[in-house]
Amino acid sequence: MKDSQKIEQYHLHKAHPNKLQFQLHDLKSYRKKNPEKAAVPHSHSYYQLLWFFNAGGTHTVDFNSYEIKENMVLFTNKDQIHFFDDNLEVEGWLIHFNESFFMHSDVDIFLKYNIFNIEQNPCYLLDCNTVKIATHHIELIAKELPNKLSFGHEDMIRFLLKSLLITMERIHYSDSSRKLQINNHYERQFFAFKDLLELHYREGLAIKDYANLLNTSAKTLTTITKSVVGKAPSELVKERIILEAKRLLKFTSLPINEVAFRLGFEDDSYFIKYFKRTIGMSPKAYRGTIS
């Protein structure tokens, strides 16, 4: 898989921002239109929801392959590397939408950071009742999509999508280990920090720089991140850098010094030490473990 120096990234209406930033596809039709492209590791600049109707096969996201089960929903975040197996007869639904399609209310922020959380299992198994409700939502979306000139067209689809995601999240929301506190000030600040981290992790910013961008102090930022996820902000920065390093080492054939450069390291020897200190092996050794 590492025969390329670039991980292909796909976009949704990037050249046409005035278009509806949302798509609904029949999964089998989509796979047959993109038989090879979708089976090669790639990423998106948008969010993706995959609903598999039947068990069988796997879907790979970053470094994990997930066994497809009946009525399994799999959420992929922006920039995650994923790919399909070779089954072109897979049945289900595929939903794409851009960040701008969210309205950034408290519930939207919650959904973004809980459902599309790259640190946790991205798979949800829908029970019979949720299947009925979710199917109804998608049928309403499909019915609304052609009505481009109707009053409130975009909002109608947005609200139906939000309702669909809330319905799916309710399966897990009773699990206190996953529950985030909507309207909690620390949560909102933490999410803002995560957004900044995505923008700047390659730039070598100090924690005080992130704190300044949030109009707070480094001490307060540390209190926030430890309160929400039990980790210091420096640890979260390191995790994000290492995640990207592992992606580049696994899914591209870039030389180690180029990987280091792309992650903001001017000295590749420092990057090698940084990676080894965190992972327990050098970038070269890590790449050698990948089949």
- Ordered by where they begin, the domains of the chain are 9-174 (2.60.120.280), 185-288 (1.10.10.60)
**Nearest residue to 12 via CA among 36, 45, 39:** 45
Rounded Cα gap, residues 93 and 30, in angstroms: 9
Determine the pLDDT at residue 92: 97
Tokens of 154: 């975009």
Determine the pLDDT at residue 32: 93
pLDDT digits 0-9 by tens, 252-267: 999 999 999 999 998 9
Determine the length of the chain: 291
- In 3-state terms, the chain is what percent helix, strand and coil (to 5)? 50, 15, 35
Name the pLDDT band for 171 (thresholds 50, 70, 90). Answer: confident
Task: Indicate whether 119 pLDDT > 70.
Answer: no
Determine the pLDDT at residue 3: 53
**Which residue is associated with the tokens 């390291």?**
265
pLDDT digits 0-9 by tens, 178-237: 455 554 778 888 988 998 999 999 999 999 999 999 999 999 999 999 998 899 999 999
Tell me if 81 sits within 8 A of 7, measured CB to CB: yes
Determine the pLDDT at residue 159: 93
Tokens of 257: 């010094």
pLDDT digits 0-9 by tens, 200-216: 999 999 999 999 999 99
Rounded Cα gap, residues 181 and 183, in angstroms: 6
Gap between the terminal Cα atoms of the chain = 9
Determine the pLDDT at residue 215: 95
What pTM, to 2 d.p., does this model score?
0.85
Interval 112-127 mean pLDDT: 79
Please state, for a pLDDT cut of 90, what percent of the chain lies above it. Answer: 70
Determine the pLDDT at residue 108: 75
* Alpha-helix runs per DSSP H in the chain: 27-33, 106-114, 128-144, 153-173, 185-200, 207-213, 218-229, 233-251, 256-262, 268-279, 283-288
Please tell me which residue, 26 or 229, carries the higher pLDDT value: 26
Element (H, E) at 76: strand 72-76
Interval 6-27 mean pLDDT: 91
Tokens of 179: 């529950």
Name the pLDDT band for 106 (thresholds 50, 70, 90). Answer: low
Determine the pLDDT at residue 14: 86
Mean pLDDT check: name the lowest of 82-86, 90-94, 98-102, 234-238.
98-102
Please state, for a pLDDT cut of 70, what percent of the chain lies above it. Answer: 92
Determine the pLDDT at residue 1: 47
Task: Indicate whether 277 pLDDT > 70.
Answer: yes
Determine the pLDDT at residue 6: 80
Phi-psi region of 79 (alpha: psi -120 to 50; beta: other; left: phi over 0): left
Q: What is the mean pLDDT of the chain?
A: 89
